[in-house]
Amino acid sequence: MLLKEVVESGGGTINRNLLEVQFKSGFQVSIRDIASKKVEDTTEDNFHAMLEVMRGHLDDGEYIGVWVNKGRVHIDKSIWVETFREARRIGRERNQTAVYDWAKKESIYL
């Protein structure tokens, strides 16, 4: 995934092979915030360097979440869960602002 694509689409979920993934159902929830940089301070090279470093720290079932909000590129470690109840519980435990609903293709604010 290219930085330009992230900025244009608003975000994405990436597996350990650095390929974008999508699910038809369930919820994506962050389990650990990793980095946040201003879009204008983020180059394609340092974006990919951050992704390369992160991929070495992913356990089975974990993903790299990237999104843009208020002019910043955010990167986190996330997991897919089946139910909103579980996503909400994990999100609240981790002080997350939102979880992502794959079926509706939208964030649900906690």
- pLDDT per residue over 40-89, tens digit each? 888 889 888 888 888 888 999 999 999 888 889 999 999 999 999 999 99
Q: Which residue has the tokens 């997350």?
A: 96
Backbone torsions φ then ψ of 47, nearest 5 degrees: -60, -50
Q: What radius of gyration, in Å, describes the C-alpha atoms of the chain?
A: 13
Q: For residues 93 and 29, give the distance between their C-alpha atoms in angstroms, rounded to a whole number.
A: 11
Range with the largest mean pLDDT of 4-13, 47-56, 88-97: 88-97
- Identity at 76, one-letter amino acid code: D
Please say whether the beta carbons of 98 and 42 come within 8 A: no
Q: Tell me how far the alpha carbon of residue 50 is from its chain's centroid.
A: 13
Beta bridge partners of 85: none
pTM: 0.88
pLDDT for position 1: 66
Tokens describing residue 6: 């992230």
Please say whether the beta carbons of 92 and 30 come within 8 A: no
